[in-house]
A and B are shown apart, each in its own frame.
Chain A
Amino acid sequence: MTLLDPGMDLTLRPMRYPAFFDRFKDAIKNTWTVEEVDLHTDLADLEKLSPAERHLISRLVAFFATGDTIVANNLVLNLYQHVNSPEGRLYLSRQLFEEAVHVQFYLNLLDTYVPDEAERYEAFAAIENIPSIRRKAEFCFKWIDSIFELRELRTREDRKAFLLNLICFAACIEGLFFYGAFAYVYFLRSRGVLQGLASGTNWVFRDESMHMAFAFDVVEVVRREEPDLFDDEMTRQVTEMLAEAVDCEVQFAEDLLGQGISGLSLGDMREYLQHVADRRLATLGIAPKYGSKNPFAFMELQDVQELSNFFERRVSAYQVGVTGTVGFDEDF
């Protein structure tokens, strides 16, 4: 039996994919709640920002307001159905919970940032009102719809379609749209403003990194089990899909950066997005399309350990779900 064979496997022992179960357990250790994020200093910061910066932020949170819901929908409607492994489905259930927390976080953020009710409604309707966000959403819907009618993955073509959907959500949506957003937040964070947004988003991205890693795990399992699915056509389709995602994200950047932000030029942003797309291709073992380098040194800040001064920020580097019993002879 392979992972994509139709069915509802219920057997956890012996466990066929223990790594999925480990991802599930790790995810639990990262549990955080919206109440832990302190947004009160953000309001003061917002007033200090320039109109150009405020525009960037309002667009960004408008995207966040719907982004995670779209991912959750695809998870329920498409992924859960076809990943036929109880431990894999455990992880997906956990991911679904995390997406819900993210939605709640951005809901709370928007309610706090946008006190005016009419403006708030407009932000939540971003998909209708803001063309640059609409274009990204349409890209997502197209791929959700691509396998929506598939009840079972019987044929080779079915499975390839499923893989494209999975890769789209991992590499393009979580891996590029969210990572693009990540760069904006990190830019602001490196400038010391909007700590509430930054710390909540940091936790969101910690989760998103896991989601992406899990999806790529699934891709690799399928590659091992059914290597013939990964043919030249698939390579071409994935590369094209990423190129389209880059275009969507660049037009979003044109909107966000349209009024000029010092330290975050459109040219650098484009290069960054191309660079991220190349990284996603590399993870899938596909040749890079752009050959672009990362122009943002501030992105390096997220790759190294944090050392919070507890006087200034709440430390986020703790775990939940610690195990063991009292003893006095253990090594430390």
Chain B
Amino acid sequence: MDKTRRSPLARRPLAALTAAACTALLATACTGTNSGGGQDGSASGQDVTITFWHGWSQDNEVKAINDNVAAFEKLHPNIHVKVVGNIADDKAEQALRAGGPDAPDVVSSFSTDNVGKFCASHVWADLGPMLRKDGIDPAKTFPSAMLKYSQYQGNQCALPLLGDAYGLYYNKTAFAAAGITAPPKTFSEFAEDAAKLTVPDGDSYKQLGFMPNYHGYETAIAHYLGQYGSSYFGPDGKSNVATDPTVAAALTWQKQLVDRLGGFEKLEKYRTTFGDEFSSKNPFTTGQVAMSLDGEWRTASLAEDKPDFEWATAPFPVPDDQAAAYGRGYQTGTIVGVANGSKKQTAAWTFVKYLTTDTDAVVSFANAIHNVPSTLAALESPKLDADANFRTFVDIAKNPNSSTTPASINGGAYQVSLQNLSYEVESGRQTDLGAGLKATAEEIDAAVNQAK
């Protein structure tokens, strides 16, 4: 058997080659996103083609956005838009990381959670200078909550492209049967009505007034906190969930409602009988719950599914000590931005400006896909869908007290931390609320520091 071995000296060139190759590969993997430029010639009438990536996939949505693009191209014949639909956020992020000629110039996202990272890392261009150059005052153009979720620390790297507002859906037939004449306006009234509307059936329910559990589809802690106007972070950028009394109040109120309506275990078991949220088996549509917290899109679903009861919408109730703020709600929506690496930023901005600030474009798009418009002018437009149930959400979007979850450097991580605590509280696993909130705040701060 040949026992000869290569000497360490003989292995050195190989080791050096491997190290060099690895270093080169690592270096190429670390390239940041390039800065683009604005001199694409579109302003002087040159033909420019930009690429627009969006996530809409349903036929009516795709038609609506394509109609919007066609209207834009008619107004700007020298700017051509190559539309790529059904793009998930992950894919768009990878494309923006990689850059290059095939990367999108304009990107939209259904989630507002990543705005902090997009702005801080400058992967989406700061639109502030472009807004100023075109004389657009964001504060006078967009509702305050929508403006808040599309910027991070003063960097307006995204703009709202339609929004979602959350309110109360209630079963009018069940209300009449229970002797309730009007939708509740405060949390006390709401709890009373939820209890009146609940019809137990052994260890389950014939009808539940309201599903308060945090996994009851849209009944997340952040959506409840929208009724309190909680801010999540203090002026110093640190989590204030332990010091803001509204957070503890919301968690306590929800837990009390859970206990009043039958307890966590019983409600969880009932929750598992619900059909898919975005289907005709939604528990409100089937009559399993008499009230629900949901977004404006449900008006279109209910009109299509035609449940066998009368229903209506109203703003979701507010805490008793904030009765004057009735009419507010949680808000989120779709955002759109310009890739910082785009070499066609002038054309891209012209397109984004049209999508987000042209009143007719915003209104027609909102009407087509049953979302809330995202400019103050569009919210007042007479061309907007006049359906009274939909108008409830338009009013919520207009309400200056409506609030949102702010952008953070590490996406929705702070919401996950708070949600995890909320699950522990509702199930009774965490009984020391103060300690839980303190630990959650520390966890959020540590994660934010880690991300900086």
Please indicate whether A and B come from the same complex rather than being unrelated chains: no
Task: Name A residues whose Cβ lies closer than 8 Å to a Cβ of B.
Answer: none
